[in-house]
Amino acid sequence: MRFQDAARLRYKITIPLILVLALAALYLFHTIVIERKNLLDTQNLLSGLRTTSVEILTAPAGMQHESTIRIFKSILEELQSYPADSRLTNLLNNEESNFFASADTFLKAAASGDNKVINIATRELDSSIGMVSGDINKISDDLHVNMVKYEYGILFMICILAALHHFLVDSPMREELIRCAREKEVSKSTIKKLAERDTLTNLPGRMKFYEEAEKAVSSATRYGSDLALIKMDIHDFKTINQKHGQKAGDKILAGFARVVRKNLRRPDSFFRVGGDKFIILAPHTSATNAKNLTEKINKLVSTTKLLKTIPFMMNTGIAMCDQGETGESLLKKVDLALNESKKYGPGTVYTHPEPVKPTEK
C-alpha cells in the first residue's frame, strides 16, 4: 500500500472517531447541565412549598391567606405535572416519603382553619419534603460523579486518539511532505545541471555559455581587456555518423572534448553548444594567441592517438570582443567567421574580420 493510501485510510479512521467522541462528550455535558437544572428547579419548588406552608401556619387563626394557598396549590400542580417516566416523579411518589399524600393532608388542614391540625400537617409535610430533598441531593451527587467520570473517560480517549493521529498520520505526512519537497529541490537541481552541462562530453552547455559569455563580455568591455571567442565544428560530421555509426560519432565528440579541455588554460571556458559545435571563451587572449590555440588544437586532432581511429578535421571561426560589444553580437560575429572558414575547406581558421587570407591546415 502506498504511503498516500495508508495516510488517507488513517484519516478516515481517526478523524471520525475523534468527532464521534467529541460529540459524545458534548452530549454528556449537555445532559449534566439539563439534569442539574431539573434537580435544582425541583429543589426550589419543594423549598417554595415549605415556605408557603410555614406562612399558612403562622397566619392568625381564621385568617389564612387565600393567595398563599393558591400559590401552594400551583407549586403542587407543577410537581404533579412531571412526566410519568421521569426520575423525579419516582422520587416524589416514593411510598416512604409519602409526599403527595402529606401535601393533600396539609391542604385539608389549611381549609379547616384549625392551627393545631395545620401544625401537625406542616410537620408531616416538612418531613416528607426533607426526605425527598435528601434523595434528590443524593441522586444529584451520584449523577454528577458518574457523568464526570464518563466525561473524563471520553476526553482521555479523545486525547489518546489525537496523539495517535499525530504520530500515525500528521507526523508521517509532514515528513513525507518534507521528503517530497527535498526530492523536488534535488530534481530541480539535477534538471538545471543537465540543462547546463552536456552528459556526453561533460562540458557546460548552451545555457551556461550564454551566462558566462555575458559576464566575460561585460568584464572585457569595462576594463578594455582582450577577449577571444573561438567556435569550432567537425567538418562533415553527418557523413562520419552515417558511415561509422552514431556510437563512433559519440566517441569522436567525447574524445575531442577531453583532449581540448586538457590543453586549455585555467581562465578559458569550453562549451558544447549543440551537435558537433564547440566554443572556447578565452579571456585576456589576443587574436594572434587565439589563432595559435586553434592551430594547436588542429595539430592535436591529427596527432592524438585517441582521435586518429577515425580521421576528421575542424572548421574554426574566431571573433574578438570590441568596445560596446554584447554577448549576442559577439556570437553573431563568431558564427559569421565559422561560416567563412567552411568556404575555404576543412582545417581552416578564419578570424572576423579577416584582413588577410585565412590559415589552412
Report the 3 state secondary structure along 162-216. HHHHHHHHHHHHHHHHHHHHHHHHHHHHHHHHHHHECCCCCCECHHHHHHHHHHH
Of 122, 135, 43, 123, the C-alpha closest to 95 is 135
pLDDT score for 360: 53
What does the block give as the cell for 22?
Answer: 467529541
Whether 169 shows a pLDDT value over 70: the answer reads no
In a shared domain, residues 22 and 150: yes
Asked whether residue 196 is domain-assigned, the answer is no
In a shared domain, residues 138 and 265: no
Asked whether residue 283 is domain-assigned, the answer is yes
In a shared domain, residues 210 and 74: no
Mean pLDDT on 225-233? 94
Q: Which residue has the higher pLDDT, 172 or 56?
A: 56
Mean pLDDT on 112-118? 80
Mean pLDDT on 102-115? 83
Whether 272 shows a pLDDT value over 90: the answer reads yes
Q: Residue 341 — pLDDT band, cuts 50, 70, 90?
A: very high
Mean pLDDT on 19-46? 79
| Separation of alpha carbons 198 and 203, rounded Å | 5
| Separation of alpha carbons 83 and 311, rounded Å | 111
In a shared domain, residues 334 and 228: yes
User: How many domains does the chain contain in total?
Assistant: 2
Whether 338 shows a pLDDT value over 90: the answer reads yes
Domain that holds residue 86: 3-174
Asked whether residue 360 is domain-assigned, the answer is no
In a shared domain, residues 256 and 143: no
Mean pLDDT on 274-282? 93
What long-range pairs does 17-22 form, CB within 8 A, spacing at least 24? 17/161, 18/158, 18/161, 18/162, 18/165, 21/154, 21/157, 21/158, 21/161, 22/158
Asked whether residue 139 is domain-assigned, the answer is yes
In a shared domain, residues 9 and 113: yes
Q: Which residues of 277-312 are buried (b: 16+ CB within 10 A; e: fewer)?
A: bbbbbbbebeeeebbebbeebbebbeeeeebeeeeb
Asked whether residue 179 is domain-assigned, the answer is no
Q: What is the number of residues in the chain? A: 361
- CA dist 108 → 36, 69, 100, 115, 118 (Å): 33, 11, 13, 12, 9
Contacts of 200 (CB under 8 A, 6+ apart): 250, 253, 254, 272
pLDDT score for 65: 65
Q: Residue 89 — pLDDT band, cuts 50, 70, 90?
A: confident
In a shared domain, residues 277 and 143: no
Whether 28 shows a pLDDT value over 80: the answer reads no
Q: Residue 45 — pLDDT band, cuts 50, 70, 90?
A: confident
Of 221, 323, 233, the C-alpha closest to 278 is 233
Contacts of 87 (CB under 8 A, 6+ apart): 139
In a shared domain, residues 42 and 105: yes
Q: What is the CATH number of the domain that holds 301?
A: 3.30.70.270
Rounded to the nearest 5°, which phi and psi values hold at 95?
-65, -30
Lowest mean pLDDT among 188-192, 203-207, 262-266: 188-192
Whether 302 shows a pLDDT value over 60: the answer reads yes
How many Cα neighbours within 13 Å face the side chain of 227?
A: 27
Whether 147 shows a pLDDT value over 80: the answer reads no
In a shared domain, residues 133 and 241: no
In a shared domain, residues 150 and 299: no
- DSSP letters, 141-155, are HHHHHHHHHHHHHHH
Asked whether residue 85 is domain-assigned, the answer is yes
| Separation of alpha carbons 78 and 359, rounded Å | 123
In a shared domain, residues 167 and 215: no
Asked whether residue 183 is domain-assigned, the answer is no
Whether 305 shows a pLDDT value over 70: the answer reads yes
Whether 93 shows a pLDDT value over 90: the answer reads no
**Rounded percentage of the chain residues whose pLDDT exceeds 70:** 88
Q: Residue holding cell 554584447?
A: 326
> Cβ(179)–Cβ(172) under 8 Å?
no
Among 133, 158, 174, the domain boundary falls at 174
- End-to-end CA gap in the chain: 66
> Angle at the Cα of 208 (from 206 to 209), degrees rounded to 5?
60
| Separation of alpha carbons 296 and 257, rounded Å | 14
Q: What is the CATH number of the domain that holds 47?
A: 1.20.120
Interstrand relation of 277-283 and 227-234 (parallel, antiparallel or unpaired): antiparallel
Asked whether residue 201 is domain-assigned, the answer is no
Lowest mean pLDDT among 104-108, 139-143, 310-314: 139-143
Of 221, 301, 218, the C-alpha closest to 255 is 301
| Separation of alpha carbons 163 and 187, rounded Å | 34
Q: Residue 9 — pLDDT band, cuts 50, 70, 90?
A: low
In a shared domain, residues 254 and 109: no
pLDDT score for 340: 92
Q: Residue 7 — pLDDT band, cuts 50, 70, 90?
A: low
Among 152, 174, 196, the domain boundary falls at 174
Q: Residue 1 — pLDDT band, cuts 50, 70, 90?
A: very low
